[in-house]
Amino acid sequence: MSILSSATLRSVTQQAPDLPGWSADELDAPELLLNRELSLLAFTRRVLELARDQRLPLLERLRFLCISCTNLDEFFEVRVASVRQRMQHGATQPGPDGLTPKAALEAIRSAVLEMVEQQYWVMNEELTPALAEQEIRILRRSEWKRRQRRWLHQHFRQEILPVLSPLGLDPAHPFPRILNKSLNFAVSLEGQDAFGRDSGMALVRAPRSLPRIIRVPKSYTRGPNDFVFLSSVIHAFIDELFPGMRVRGCYQFRVTRNSELFVDEEEIEDLARALEGELMERGFAEAVRLEVATNCPDPIARFLGSKFGLTENSIYRCDGPVNLNRMSAICDLADRPDLKFTTFQPHTPKALASSSNLFAAMRRRDWVLHHPYDSFQPVVDLLREAVSDPSVLAIKQTLYRTGVDSVLVGLLVEAARAGKDVTVIVELRARFDEQANITLATRLQEAGVQVVYGVVGHKTHAKMMLLVRRERGHLHRYVHLGTGNYHQGTAKAYTDWSLLSANADLAQDVHRIFQQLSGLGRVQTLNRLIQSPFGLHRFLLEMIRRETEHSRAGHSARICAKMNSLTEPDIIRALYEAARAGVEVRLVVRGICCLRPGVPGLSDTIRVRSILGRFLEHSRVYHFDNAGQPETYAASADWMERNLFQRVETCFPILDARAAARVLRESIELAFADNRSAWELGPGGDYHLVYPNEGETELAIQDVLIAEAGDV
Asked if residue 362 belongs to a domain, the reply is yes
Q: Are residues 317 and 362 in the same domain?
A: no
461 counts as catalytic: yes
Quote the pLDDT of residue 429: 64
Residue 544: phi and psi, rounded to 5, are -65, -45
| Contact by Cβ (8 Å): 633, 652 | yes
- What whole-number distance in Å separates Cα of residue 538 and Cα of residue 644? 9
Q: How many CA atoms lie within 13 A of 450 on its CB side?
A: 15
Asked if residue 410 belongs to a domain, the reply is yes
Q: Are residues 371 and 516 in the same domain?
A: yes
Q: Are residues 327 and 225 in the same domain?
A: yes
Q: Are residues 556 and 681 in the same domain?
A: yes
Asked if residue 345 belongs to a domain, the reply is no
Q: Over 80: is that where the pLDDT of 432 sits? A: no
Q: Are residues 251 and 157 in the same domain?
A: yes
Residues 6+ apart with CB under 8 A from 261: 275, 278, 279, 282, 429, 434
- Reported as a pLDDT band with limits 50, 70 and 90, residue 12 is very low
Quote the pLDDT of residue 384: 95
Quote the pLDDT of residue 383: 96
Angle at 508 between CA 507 and CA 512, to 5 degrees: 120
- Reported as a pLDDT band with limits 50, 70 and 90, residue 29 is confident
Quote the pLDDT of residue 2: 40
Tell me the pLDDT tens digit for each residue of 78-97: 899 989 988 888 878 888 88
Q: Could you give the C-alpha distances from 143 to 134, 227, 230, 273, in angstroms and in order? A: 17, 12, 15, 51
Cα dihedral across residues 154, 158, 164, 168: positive or negative: positive
User: Of 102-111, 332-341, 421-430, 686-695, which gets the smallest average pLDDT?
Assistant: 421-430
Angle between helices 101-121 and 58-74 (to 10 degrees): 160
Question: DSSP letters along 228-285, please?
Answer: EEHHHHHHHTGGGGSTTSEEEEEEEEEEEE-------TTS-S-HHHHHHHHHHHHTTS
Q: Which domain holds residue 41?
A: 6-118
Quote the pLDDT of residue 268: 47
**What does the pLDDT average to over 544-559?**
96
Q: Are residues 519 and 536 in the same domain?
A: no
Q: Over 80: is that where the pLDDT of 710 sits? A: no
Asked if residue 86 belongs to a domain, the reply is yes
Q: Over 60: is that where the pLDDT of 509 sits? A: yes
User: Of 140-144, 437-441, 524-528, which gets the smallest average pLDDT?
Assistant: 437-441
Work out how many domains the chain is built from and give that number. 4
Cα-Cα-Cα-Cα torsion 357, 358, 361, 367, nearest 10 degrees, comes to: 170
Tell me the pLDDT tens digit for each residue of 345-362: 999 998 898 777 999 999
**What does the pLDDT average to over 50-59?**
96
Burial 333-349 (b: 16+ CB within 10 A, else e): bbebeebbbeeeebbbb
Asked if residue 631 belongs to a domain, the reply is yes
Tell me the pLDDT tens digit for each residue of 325-349: 999 999 999 999 999 999 999 999 9
- Reported as a pLDDT band with limits 50, 70 and 90, residue 15 is low
Q: Over 60: is that where the pLDDT of 261 sits? A: no
Q: Are residues 578 and 699 in the same domain?
A: yes
In the sheet with 226-229, reading across from the earlier edge strand, the strands are: 137-138, 226-229, 213-215
Domain containing residue 99: CATH number? 1.20.58.310
- What whole-number distance in Å separates Cα of residue 14 and Cα of residue 683? 9
Residue 80: phi and psi, rounded to 5, are -65, -40
Q: Over 90: is that where the pLDDT of 502 sits? A: yes
Quote the pLDDT of residue 447: 87
Domain containing residue 147: CATH number? 3.30.1840.10
Q: Are residues 358 and 245 in the same domain?
A: no
Q: Over 50: is that where the pLDDT of 298 sits? A: yes
Asked if residue 260 belongs to a domain, the reply is yes
Q: Mean pLDDT across the chain, nearest whole number?
A: 89
**Final residue in a domain of this structure, among 305, 338, 371:** 338
Residues 6+ apart with CB under 8 A from 326: 66, 212, 213, 229
- Reported as a pLDDT band with limits 50, 70 and 90, residue 291 is very high
Quote the pLDDT of residue 283: 65
Q: Are residues 107 and 203 in the same domain?
A: no
Q: Over 90: is that where the pLDDT of 458 sits? A: no
Return the DSSP state at 637.
-
Asked if residue 261 belongs to a domain, the reply is yes
Q: Over 90: is that where the pLDDT of 455 sits? A: no
Q: How far apart are the first and last CA of the chain?
A: 36
**What does the pLDDT average to over 551-558?**
95
User: Of 45-54, 485-494, 538-547, which gets the smallest average pLDDT?
Assistant: 485-494
**Final residue in a domain of this structure, among 311, 338, 365:** 338
Please give the residue that has the higher pLDDT: either 354 or 48: 48
- Reported as a pLDDT band with limits 50, 70 and 90, residue 487 is confident
- Reported as a pLDDT band with limits 50, 70 and 90, residue 712 is low
- Reported as a pLDDT band with limits 50, 70 and 90, residue 431 is low
Tell me the pLDDT tens digit for each residue of 122-179: 999 999 999 999 999 999 999 999 999 999 999 999 999 999 989 888 765 788 889 9
Quote the pLDDT of residue 17: 54
3-state SS string for 202-217: EEEECCCCCCCEEECC
Quote the pLDDT of residue 8: 36
Tell me the pLDDT tens digit for each residue of 364-407: 999 999 999 999 999 999 999 999 999 999 999 999 878 767 89
**Final residue in a domain of this structure, among 279, 308, 338:** 338
Quote the pLDDT of residue 597: 97
Percent of the chain with pLDDT over 70: 90
Asked if residue 123 belongs to a domain, the reply is no
- Reported as a pLDDT band with limits 50, 70 and 90, residue 281 is low
Cα dihedral across residues 348, 349, 353, 359: positive or negative: negative
Please give the residue that has the higher pLDDT: either 356 or 483: 483
Angle at 179 between CA 453 and CA 442, to 5 degrees: 25
Q: Are residues 59 and 160 in the same domain?
A: no
Q: Are residues 570 and 444 in the same domain?
A: no
Q: Are residues 495 and 578 in the same domain?
A: no
Domain containing residue 509: CATH number? 3.30.870.10
Angle between helices 101-121 and 36-50 (to 10 degrees): 10
Q: Over 90: is that where the pLDDT of 284 sits? A: no
Among 235, 461, 480, 487, the one annotated catalytic: 461
How are the residues of the chain apportioned to helix, strand and coil, as percentages rounded to the nearest 5?
Answer: 40, 20, 35
